[in-house]
Amino acid sequence: MITRRAYALTSRWCVPAPRAACWSQLADPGSWPEWWPHLRSRVLRDGDEAGVGTRGVLVYRSPLGYRLRIGLEVLAADPPERVEFAVVGDLTGRATAQLDEVERDGAAWTSITTRWPVRTTRGWMNAAAPVLAPAFNWAHARVMSAGERGLVRRLTT
C-alpha cells in the first residue's frame, strides 16, 4: 500500500481592496470560476449566515495537465477575517484562509493567507510523489497565483 503524501501548502495574496470586498468574493465559491482561471465550482448546499455548513465541489486544472477534484465544507467562519474548511476528494485534510487588512500608500489592502495541510489520495500522485512532489508544489503555487491575479482584476476593474 502506498502512503498518502502530506503537503503543507501556504499561499499569501496581497489584494488592493478592503477586507470586506475580498471576503464577499471569497464567501461566494459559486462565483470563483468567473475570476479564477482553470477552476470550475458548484455549490451543493448553502450554509448559515456566516457560511458555516456550505458545501461545494471544486475542479482545478493543473498547469501540468491533471485535474484535481475536491470537496470543501465550511467548518468555521469569522467574517470577514477567517474561514476554515474540511477538504475531501483528491486531497484530504483542512484549509484555512486568514484575511488581514493592511495599509499601503494610504489605501486599504488585504493580505490573504491560505494554508492547506492536506494529503493526496490519488494512487498515481502518491506513487510519483518522491519524484514529482516539487512539481506538485509548483503547480499549486501557479494555480493560487492565478487566483490572486483574478481576484485583483475582479476587485479593481
- 120 in any annotated domain: yes
Number of domains present in the structure of the chain: 1
Alpha helices per DSSP H over 2-43: 19-26, 32-35
Q: Domain of 38: which CATH number?
A: 3.30.530.20
- 39 in any annotated domain: yes
- 1 in any annotated domain: no
State which residues form the domain around 68: 6-156
The pLDDT assigned to 1 comes to 62
pTM here is 0.94
The number of helices, as runs of H, and strands, as runs of E, in the chain is: 3, 7
- 11 in any annotated domain: yes
The pLDDT assigned to 63 comes to 96
- 12 in any annotated domain: yes
Q: Which secondary-structure segment (H or E) carries 108?
A: strand 107-120
Positions of the chain with pLDDT lower than 70, given as ranges: 1
The pLDDT assigned to 119 comes to 98
DSSP state of 64: T
- 85 in any annotated domain: yes
Distance of CA 35 to the CA centre of its chain: 13
